[in-house]
Amino acid sequence: MNAEDTADQPKILIGISSCLVGEKVRFDGGHKQNRYILDTLGQYFSYRPFCPEMAIGLGIPRETIRLAVIDNHVEAIGNKHTELTFTRPLMRIAEEQVNWHRQLFGYIVKKDSPSCGMERVKVYRGDLPKREGVGLYTATLMRNFPTLPVEEEGRLGDPILRESFVKRVFIYKRWHELLARGLDWAGLTDFHARHKLILYSHNQELGRQLGRELAASHQQPVDDYAAKYLAQLMNILKISAKRSNHVNVLEHIRGYLKQNLDKSDKQELTESIENYRRGLLPLIVPITLLRHHFRRNPQDYIERSYYLQPHPDELMLLNSL
């Protein structure tokens, strides 16, 4: 498996809203420290905190900001002093951070914030708010780095979204390691092969389509195709991985053991996948069983696939799926 790929590696650099690491930078001098992010994910992630509102010179305490539609544009304005606008400073401060943003493999932002929120931030039309906005700093970050995994701390409470974000971070990091080694068609094809089953667990049709496009693109320079490949890869990974898709992948992997298992092992494996399908067992159970059988009956393709080991076991992300 791929445990060696993550063990003893330096921590992965992740950008984060400063208040989430406990810095007292909120409008009222408080913070929103998140112990799961710090203690659990912090075993593998190192954080680069940034508070855009502090960075544009707003002090503590400060008037809160809100997003509002003014002349058909979304603007960040003062909550009380609505004549004050912070739109350009927030966007400019995000642009000024691109050098360190470029070094990141993910970003965790504070939900609901008109500066940092990733989605569903309140946008006012008059006094009526609609949850349809994106914080202006984070909107600029995501526009500059559309493939960077970005997630809100609130959504990390959801097991599926949490697993998806962490998996994308590890994949994004491996992608940059591939680029650093020097990209060629052989390397890209191998990268795809090792992530193919993960893609199938998100959307089999789109995963297959990406494989076909990759195979048909060899006439062009690999560097020209790479950005398109990454964009599609990350888009597929954003689709929720359904239980039924995981079942298809697990059954596909089980097929590689057809010749190697006796009747009772086969039955145990089938029952484990079936119980996962019915929601009686978490994904980690059939995966652990499969890992066990492949340790005894190694298969190169499965050995190299990241599906059975998408991230470190210590994070226990497959235990809640």
Instruction: Specify the DSSP class assigned to residue 310.
Output: S
Min separation Cβ 116 and ligand SF4, Å? 3
User: Which own/partner contact pairs does 137-144 have at CB distance under 8 Å and 24+ positions apart?
Assistant: 137/52, 137/90, 137/91, 137/93, 137/94, 138/94, 138/107, 138/109, 139/91, 140/90, 140/91, 140/94, 140/95, 141/15, 141/94, 141/97, 141/101, 141/107, 142/118, 144/94, 144/95, 144/98, 144/101
Residue placing its CB nearer to ligand SF4 in the complex, 92 or 252: 92
Min separation Cβ 19 and ligand SF4, Å? 3
Min separation Cβ 161 and ligand SF4, Å? 19
- In Å, how far are 69, 209, 278, 318 from 200, measured between CA atoms? 40, 10, 20, 17
Q: Provide the binding-site residues for ligand SF4, judged by CB under 6 A.
A: 17-19, 25-26, 51-53, 110, 113, 115-116
Min separation Cβ 57 and ligand SF4, Å? 12
Residue placing its CB nearer to ligand SF4 in the complex, 17 or 305: 17
Tokens of residue 272, six digits: 């484990």
Residue placing its CB nearer to ligand SF4 in the complex, 93 or 289: 93
Residue placing its CB nearer to ligand SF4 in the complex, 29 or 221: 29
Min separation Cβ 213 and ligand SF4, Å? 38
Residue placing its CB nearer to ligand SF4 in the complex, 16 or 289: 16
Residue placing its CB nearer to ligand SF4 in the complex, 53 or 163: 53
Min separation Cβ 16 and ligand SF4, Å? 8
The label of the residue with tokens 């009686």 reads 280
Residue placing its CB nearer to ligand SF4 in the complex, 153 or 163: 153
Contact 108, 16 (CB under 8 A): yes
DSSP letters for 23-89: ---STTS-----HIIIIIGGGTEEEEEE-HHHHTT--SS---EEEEEETTEEEEEESS-TT-B-HHH
Min separation Cβ 182 and ligand SF4, Å? 37
